[in-house]
Each structure stands twice: as structure tokens, then as C-alpha cells.
Amino acid sequence: MSTFYKRLVRPLLFLLPADIAHKFVVAVLAVASWFSWVLRLIGGLFVVNDIRLVQKVAGLTFPNPIGIAAGFDKDGRVTKALEALGFGSIEVGSVSLLPWIGNPRPNSFRLIPDSAIINRMGLGNIGIKQLVNNLDHQLNVPIGISVAKTPDPRITGDEGIKDFALAIISADALAPPNSYLVLNVSCPNTEEGRTFESGQALVSLFRKIAEMTETSFDRPVFVKLSPETARSEVDRIMEVCAEYGVAGFVLGNTVSGRPSGLQTSPVQIARIGQGGLSGKPLFLIALELVQYVYQFTKDKNMAIIACGGISNGSEAVQMLMAGANLVQIYTSLVYEGPSLIREMNEYIAEIMSTLNVPSVSKMVGSKIV
């Protein structure tokens, strides 16, 4: 299946611009979602049913540790198909309180020699109410909703905090029961590229939420951090999140910098310009962030979802052993194809058999690599 994708499907998809290819794939999955027999056929090819892969994280049951990261199904239209492909969780969005058109095309670019992508999508989205209306409430896997401030540069200061807080409260009120929220504080939200990724900004956000609602969240809340965040700021953010009952962290996000060692021509990279880098070059820096944060979370009943450059089963195992409870992929799916999901789950199960580990939860933090 992997060979078929790499030799036939991927070359055809790569004839299209990256953003158009993505829309085409989502459209195909949307059509597949209309037919239950097609979903059953897909599930028979890709789903791995192994009780050892099941674990409970933040009160939710995940059938396996491999999830799809936010950004693939931005509008929550193809969750049925993604479940059929074998994902153990599906994160949709990022989404904001108000719809936003995003940046003009072209806004997504492949770095093929590096199995990477640079995007500057600009958080285009349909708004939280429409996204939740699109979601299937009958899925057997947890749904994550990645929430961000409306990226309108005119919404700043106290209004920006209020906008973000309202988006979070709305998502919490409207989301399906089997779901969690992700606060995408590392997403740029102004023309200047500033984010909510600081301890003080999070305190202001949580205080605003407390002012606007008397009840606690109905579902687990995670905070998404960038690998580029200064460790001193990470320390402050972790303390704030622990104080306010956050369930854990998504580590990490795209990076604005360009790591050394990229194989893509510097001329091509310069021509592409600004944007968030994702894919294989991020693996080691994401792994380092997981290792660092795990030293804080391991004694506090807080979970970690690893996201960044994970492209095979071995790297998924490294993330689990470094302290991640779950892992997410996206860019590697573009380069490796949908069989990657099954291959990763089968590899994890194989390692568990080799090490005589009874459940995937026993692998978490078992070794700092």
C-alpha cells in the first residue's frame, strides 16, 4: 500500500500546488464519508485492533496513540473518513470565534528533499459554530478542537483576550461529549506575529474565562506550545497551566525559523519566504521539548501529545518513551501516505511484544532517549 502511494498517487498529487492537493484529498475523503460500505472497506485496510494500544488519557479513551494533527481537517468535514483510516484521535481546526478568510494563495509549499512543508495559511477558518455543526457526534475516537484567537489584527489587547475566551467557552459548550480542547496559544494572532504564548498572557486569558462563566470546563483542555518558546517561558506557562487545571500540552507547533541542515536549496527557501515549517526537520526539537516538559508533568497527572516531524513507528516510540501519551502526524502523511497510520500502530505493538510491555501506557516515559 505504501509503495502504491509513493509510486503512483503521490507523484500525481505533487503535480498540483500543495494547497490545491490538500483540498482535493479532503474532497475525496468527504465523498467517501457518504458511503458506509466505503468506510468499512477503508477500515478493513487500515484499522489496527489491538487492546494493548488502548489507553485512557485525560478521562478519554483512545483506541490507539496515533492522531491526526490540527490543520488537516480544518473545518471538521471528514472525521468519519479519518476514523476509518485508523487514527486514534482527530484534531480539527484551528478555529476562531469569528470566520476568517486567511492568506491568499499560494500559501503552502513543499520542501520535498526534507519531507517538509512551509505554510502561511493565515488561520483561514469557518468559525467555531459552523465547525461544530460539521462534526460527527457518533465517532468512536476522541475529537480535539484546536481553538485560537480570531486573527483579525484589529482585535487586540483586552478585545483580543475576550475574543479568544469566547471562542474557548463556545467550543466547550458546543463540542461533542467525546472531545477535548486545544488552546493554540502559539499561533500568531496579529500582524506583528505576537501570540498568547507567555505565562502572563495565559493568566489574563484564564481570568477572563473565569469572569465570563461560572462553571468549569466540561472537557479536558490542552495548551499547544511551539518548540521555539524560550525554556524560561515554558516553565512559567507550565506553572500557570497546572494552577488552572489544564489537562496537558500539545508539543509542539510549526516553527518560523529554518533549522540548519535543510536539503532544499537555500534559493528555493528564500523564494518561498515566511511561514511555519513542519515535517521531518522538526523531530529532534519536538522530542527535546517533550523530554523537557515531561520532567514537569510526570508527577502532576498532566498529559503530553507529541506533534512535530514524526514520520515512522520508531520515532513514535521515541516520543512515547520520552514522555508523550499520544502522538500526532500530518506532514508525514503527505509524504508517506495513509498506510503510515497502520504501519506506526503495528510497529508500536511489535516493540511492545519485544519488550513484553502489556499496554502502551506502560511505555510512556519509560526511557528518556
Confidence of residue 187 (pLDDT cuts 50, 70, 90): low
With contact defined as beta carbons under 8 Å apart, do 79 and 70 qualify? no
For residue 39, give the 3-state DSSP assignment: helix
pLDDT at 50 over 70: yes
Q: Average pLDDT in the 206-233 region? A: 90
Q: Average pLDDT in the 92-120 region? A: 94
The architecture (CATH level 2) of 2-363 comes to Alpha-Beta Barrel (3.20)
Radius of gyration of the chain from Cα atoms?
Answer: 19
Q: What is the pLDDT of residues 126-173, one digit of tens each?
A: 999 999 999 988 899 999 999 999 988 888 888 999 999 999 999 999
CA separation for the pair 331, 54 (Å, rounded): 24
Q: Which of 29-43, 109-123, 266-280, 355-369 has the least mean pLDDT?
A: 355-369
DSSP 280: G
- Distance (Å) of CA 302 to CA 59, 67, 225: 11, 18, 15
Q: Average pLDDT in the 261-283 region? A: 94
Angle, nearest 10°, between helix axes 36-46 and 339-355? 40
- At residue 138, the pLDDT reads 86
- At residue 213, the pLDDT reads 86
- At residue 191, the pLDDT reads 47
- At residue 201, the pLDDT reads 86
CA separation for the pair 63, 345 (Å, rounded): 10
Confidence of residue 357 (pLDDT cuts 50, 70, 90): very high
Mean pLDDT, the chain, rounded, equals 92
Most confident option among 57-61, 173-177, 189-193: 57-61
pLDDT at 216 over 80: no
With contact defined as beta carbons under 8 Å apart, do 129 and 114 qualify? no
pLDDT at 315 over 80: yes
Q: Average pLDDT in the 165-192 region? A: 84
- At residue 368, the pLDDT reads 44
pLDDT at 217 over 50: yes
- At residue 199, the pLDDT reads 81
CA separation for the pair 29, 337 (Å, rounded): 14
CA separation for the pair 112, 269 (Å, rounded): 11
Number of Cβ within a 10 Å radius of residue 170: 17
127's grid cell: 468559525
One-letter amino acid at 263 equals Q
Q: Are strands 276-279 and 179-183 parallel, antiparallel or unpaired?
A: unpaired
Domain ranges of the chain: 2-363
CA separation for the pair 131, 353 (Å, rounded): 40
Give the closest residue to 67 by CA, choosing from 294, 329, 301, 254.
Answer: 329
Q: Exposed (0-12), middle (13-18) or buried (19+): which is 247, by Cβ within 10 Å?
A: buried
**Sign of the CA dihedral running 151, 153, 157, 159:** negative
